[in-house]
Each structure stands twice: as C-alpha cells, then as structure tokens.
A and B are shown apart, each in its own frame.
Chain A
Amino acid sequence: MIEMPEATPTDAEDGVQIDLISGARMEGMASMEKIRLILDGVRDGNIVILEEGLSPDEESKLIEVTMTEISPDEFNGIEIETYPRSETADRSFLDRLMGRESTKKLTVIGPANQIQTLHKDENLISALVSRK
C-alpha cells in the first residue's frame, strides 16, 4: 500500500490539503488500493484530485465502500465531480467486447461536508472548499 504524506496537525488547522495524484501513480494499483487511497485522504479532510479518474467499475465500488463507511456526525460521504463522460459512445466494438474503457478524465473528490460544486460543464469544474 502506498502511503500519502501526512500533514502535521498545525498545517491541517490552517488550511485544506490537496492531493493531486498522477495517472502514473495510480497505474499499478489494484481497484481497492485506489479506493482506499482516495477514502483515507477524504476522511482526513483532504481534497483528492485524480489526473486520470476511475473506471466505471471502480466508481461503482467507490460508492459502495463510501456507503459502508458513513457514520453519523463523523463522515457523511463524498462529493465527486468529473467532466461529463463523452467517450463511451465512440468506443470501438473490440473495446466494448473486451470491456476496455477510456477513463482519462480529471476527477475531484472531497468530504461531502467540505466541498460544494458551484458550476460544472463539459470543460470546467468550479468548486468551493471549506475547512472542517
């Protein structure tokens, strides 16, 4: 499991930590490792930005695992935003047969009580992030 650097408590009180995770960093990871990396960060109050996003199957598992971790007054779940998917319609037949996905889309994930999407369209995501 790859550990993310941790902010000291003083840093965390002063601001919001943002982890920008490159596609290369995620490439060799199993689905559950990616989900753990995201949720551990988000549960610490960080904003996690993925350069290349998750596959639909991983997104489905992320929702499922998030649900199992929600607990009253502690963790309300996540806010997640990606650019609207547009590549599914023109996947080739072989890609569809093999279940291959093009998932390269920037994805922003944060704690539901700290991030609010102000605007989203095909090319722009604008979000308001607050401290805990």
Chain B
Amino acid sequence: MGLLTGLRDSIARVTERLFSASDPKRIGIYGPPNAGKTTLANRIARDWTGDAIGPESHVPHETRRARRKENVEIERNGRTVTIDIVDTPGVTTKVDYKEFLEHDIGEEDAVRRSREATEGVAEAMHWLREDVDGVIYVLDSTEDPFTQVNTMLIGIIESQDLPVLILANKTDLEDSNIKQIENAFPQHQTIPLSALEGDNMDEVYDKIAEYFG
C-alpha cells in the first residue's frame, strides 16, 4: 500500500468512527466453538430486550450463521449505551463431519451441518474484516487459551485496531482457570463470568459500556 493511500485510508477510518459515535456500535461476539458465545449473546439480549438470539447447545457449531440483535440498550451509571450484538459461529481452521456423528447425529445431517459450519466460519471472518466496530472475545476458562485460532484471531482483531474485551467464561465449572487466560493475553483486560449462571454480569456490562459506548 502506498504511503499516501495508507494515510488517507487511516484518516478516513478514524473520522468515520468519530462522526458516527451516535450510531449503535456493532459488537461481534467471537471465539472458538463451544466457548459459550450464544449463551452470552442470549444472556445480554434477555437482560436488556427480553428476547433471545438463538439456540444454545453442547454440540460444537450449533451457531452456523451470524445472528444480529439490533438496538440493545444497556443502561450504566445513568447513561444508555446502544449496541447491535452479532453472535458469530465459532472460528476454526478445520471441520470434519465425522465429529458430528459422535453427538448422535445421522450422516446426512452431519454432512449438512459441517457444510453450514464452514460457510458460517467464512461468514464470521468476513464480518470481522468488514462489519464490526468492536469485539467481545469469549473463551472457555476450563480450556487452554494458547491455541493457534485464539492467537490468530486476537492478532487479526488487533491489526484492525478494534476495541476488544476478553471474557473468561464458564467460571461456574471446577476446572476454570482465569489466570491462564490473563497470562495468554496480558495486553487486554480479561473479565471472568459465567454466562450460563449470570455470574459477574454487572462487571461485563460496565466494561461493555466503557469500551464500546
């Protein structure tokens, strides 16, 4: 990219963000499969709008299309922050339909699900490059955060200069290790929560208002 073109694009991006401050920010919920992204999206949507976004499941890749909930108004300290929540399919670099067979899903259905899952991941990557203003990155705190997908996605988010909040989910489980996530991404703030139980959601909403308001 030429020096001038790069500078012009950067200035255009910055001014666009400054002058569109009153529009709802589009916040993408990203993370690996089964981190609890839809559980979190539903928790936020139910708390502030009364509606859910989509079905939750233990089967990986249950969310195979990005789903958007518009105009979620979060009230914090007397002011209202309006965001659009985009719940995205879990990002991976591989999908094997045989993994669905282990969840009592028939072969035909498994092949269909894997095809939809791959389309969903491609869609999620596209949203990340083009269509979100900020990211909530959800991790299962019982799992090792030092994975290639996490490293790459956080790198991609940082390279786009998007504000990002890292959520260490599933703190209700015994094996939850928040420190491990803090150590993996020391350059970002990590907030522990259980989206399923609704634990520590007040801090999550405080930070959403602070980062994306």
Q: Is the CB of A68 within 8 A of B7?
A: no
Is there a chain B Cβ closer than 8 Å to A13's Cβ? no
* Residue pair B155, A85 in contact (C-beta under 8 Å): yes
Number of interface residues of B (CB under 8 A): 36
A99-129 interface bits toward B, Cβ cutoff 8 Å, 1 = contact, 0 = none: 1010000000000110001001000000000
Interface residues of B in 128-175 (CB under 8 A from A): 128-129, 146, 148, 151-152, 154-156, 158-161
Judged by DSSP, the binding face of B is helix
B93 x A77 contact (CB < 8 A):
yes
Looking across the interface, which residue of chain A has its beta carbon closest to that of B121?
Answer: A67
For residue A69, which residue of chain B has the nearest CB? B118
- B-side interface residues toward A, CB under 8 Å? 1, 3, 6-7, 9-10, 91-97, 111, 114-115, 118-119, 121-122, 125-126, 128-129, 146, 148, 151-152, 154-156, 158-161, 187
The verdict on A59 contacting B155 (CB below 8 Å), with A68-B122, A98-B7 known, is yes
| A56 CB → nearest B CB, Å | 4
Label chain A's interface by main secondary structure.
mixed
The answer to whether B95 touches A59 (Cβ under 8 A) is no
Min distance, Cβ B159 to any Cβ of chain A, angstroms: 4
Chain A positions near chain B (C-beta within 8 angstroms): 55-57, 59-61, 63-64, 66-68, 70, 72, 76-82, 84-85, 88-89, 96-99, 101, 112-113, 117, 120
